[in-house]
Amino acid sequence: MKRFVILLVVVALIALAVPIANLFIGNPKGTTVTRSAASDDRLVAVATILETKCANCHSTEAQLPFYAAFPVAGDMIRGDKQAGIREFDLVTELYPTGKGPATEPALAKIEYVAQTGAMPPARYLALHWNHRLSDVDRETLTPWIRETRRGQYATAKVPPEVQALAVQPLPNSVAVDARKADLGKRLYHDTRLSGDNTISCASCHALDKGGTDNAKVSTGIRGQLGGINAPTTYNALFQFKQFWDGRAGTLAEQAGGPPLNPVEMGSNWPEIIGKLEADEAFAREFRQAYPDGFSQQTITDAIAAFEQTLLTPDSRFDRFLLGQVNALTPEERRGWDLFRQHGCQTCHVGKLLGGQSFEIMGLRADYFKDRGTPLTDADKGRFNVTKNERDRHRLKVPTLRNVAKTAPYLHDGSAADLPAAVRAMARYQVGATLPEADVTAIAEFLESLTGTYQGKPL
């Protein structure tokens, strides 16, 4: 009996000590989160909130509090830190270049969490009640999110209230040198870029197939199969990086890849340039725009110029965003609401509904284990570029623009249709099992993202 009382007292003391302790322990102060904000008063206020209430689990710098030494609490804390940092790294997302501006997905993630109250996790708030985001916090975070968006990412010439949204309409055009774009268009469709004159960029990125080949994986020269699903070239200009693993920084750099890839076009620059030079009429025209003539640099520059014209504005969804409520059916609008309720826009963000970050495939359940087929190099994703363990299975979030035209889905082409892709996302990225009616509504919403190319529906 006496021992029981002592035990009770000890437990009560610990229970009391933990919350009291966290008033002064476990708040990392002066980490990179706030230090990097020093030159910007506005950001200092934002960073202070995030450092106090989020950095414990979303930064690699956070120190574990003393009670992490206790068995159960310790496991919970370490588990939360590990899971938290996989999803969202405050430092790299707030200061992607070392000083900012915050990435577009970071803004959407913080906004989502502030709106839904999903973070910090409820079990953590039970002990750290003072870490809940307050109304004052929200009044600091929300205007910063909206203004950063308007200043950095929003589509020009649309109303300011639209510019404040996580998802943006596509612009109708971007400035491009028309003569170079025209040359690039011909090169994009030119099979002389391949070793055996059978394959052009358009073989795998057909403009009448949503900018893809509608195949699970692509077929290159001599019938060779590639290892990953071909993404669309439409609107690719707005992506922060190119390729599923982001190994190309620009469209021109990207366009230098396929011609040399032995599985895709299997050629080399001297051979390509030789073939193009032999076409005197084309060579003459090319020199009018590029006086130095054909080279890897000029050929890829022209192709990139063409890709700047591969815009698909004026989808029904864009018209809806710009105020035409009836551009979407009630079921599609329900799909759009569900899309936001489940936080899909925290990754599928901006003009493209994607293309701005690398995210782990399988955040909430092990996708690769469930798939059951052997892991491939392509599955490693961003890891292939950085060799950083944190980047294993991190893939560039694909755009959802024109997604109804680009089946099959996912980097391995494993989802045959939109409902299958939506179910996979709910399970592996959101951690929710959706009723079939909701899957259908979201899939219908996704169909409203089909835009127009040169005035015609895709």
Q: Are 384 and 216 in contact (CB under 8 A)?
A: no
Residues 6+ apart with CB under 8 A from 52: 27, 131
Alpha carbons within 13 angstroms on the beta-carbon side of residue 438 total 13
> Which residue in this structure is represented by tokens 């999803």?
87
In the range 190-209, which residues lie near ligand HEC by CB under 6 A?
A: 193, 199, 201, 203-205
Distance in Å, CB of 141 to ligand HEC, minimum: 9
Instruction: Candidates 43, 107, 110, 302: give the one binding ligand HEC (CB under 6 A).
Output: 110
In the range 161-190, which residues lie near ligand HEC by CB under 6 A?
A: 188
Distance in Å, CB of 179 to ligand HEC, minimum: 18
Distance in Å, CB of 134 to ligand HEC, minimum: 11
Distance in Å, CB of 90 to ligand HEC, minimum: 8
Interface with ligand HEC, residue 258, by CB under 6 A:
yes
* Cβ proximity to ligand HEC, 228 vs 305, nearer residue: 228
Distance in Å, CB of 224 to ligand HEC, minimum: 8
Q: Are 183 and 173 in contact (CB under 8 A)?
A: no
Q: How far is CA 64 from CA 15, 60, 68, 77, 84, in A?
A: 18, 11, 6, 8, 14
> Which residue in this structure is represented by tokens 């915050």?
102
As a dihedral over the C-alpha atoms of residue 262, residue 267, residue 269, residue 271, rounded to 10 degrees, the angle is 160
For residue 338, how many other CB atoms are within 10 A of its CB? Answer: 19
* Cβ proximity to ligand HEC, 51 vs 160, nearer residue: 51
In the range 381-400, which residues lie near ligand HEC by CB under 6 A?
A: 395-398, 400
What is the CA 21 to chain-centroid distance, rounded? 38
Distance in Å, CB of 419 to ligand HEC, minimum: 10
> Which residue in this structure is represented by tokens 């919350």?
19
In the range 326-355, which residues lie near ligand HEC by CB under 6 A?
A: 339, 342-344, 346-348
* Cβ proximity to ligand HEC, 12 vs 297, nearer residue: 297
How many residues bind to ligand HEC according to rule CB under 6 A? Answer: 74
Q: How far is CA 391 from CA 63, 246, 359, 388, 455, in A?
A: 23, 12, 8, 6, 40
Q: Are 95 and 86 in contact (CB under 8 A)?
A: no
Instruction: Candidates 254, 308, 312, 450: give the one binding ligand HEC (CB under 6 A).
Output: 254
Residues 6+ apart with CB under 8 A from 360: 86, 87, 392, 393, 394
Binding-residue pattern over the window 215 to 234 for ligand HEC, x denoting contact by CB under 6 A: ---x-x-----x-x-xx-x-
* Cβ proximity to ligand HEC, 10 vs 416, nearer residue: 416
Interface with ligand HEC, residue 298, by CB under 6 A:
no
In the range 363-382, which residues lie near ligand HEC by CB under 6 A?
A: 363
* Cβ proximity to ligand HEC, 155 vs 233, nearer residue: 233
In the range 423-452, which residues lie near ligand HEC by CB under 6 A?
A: 425-426, 429-430, 442, 446
The most distant pair of C-alpha atoms in the chain lies apart, rounded to whole Å, by 101
Of 451, 416, 381, 456, which Cα lies nearest the Cα of 234?
451
Distance in Å, CB of 84 to ligand HEC, minimum: 3
In the range 44-103, which residues lie near ligand HEC by CB under 6 A?
A: 53-54, 56-58, 80, 83-84, 87-88
Interface with ligand HEC, residue 22, by CB under 6 A:
no
> Which residue in this structure is represented by tokens 């003009």?
351
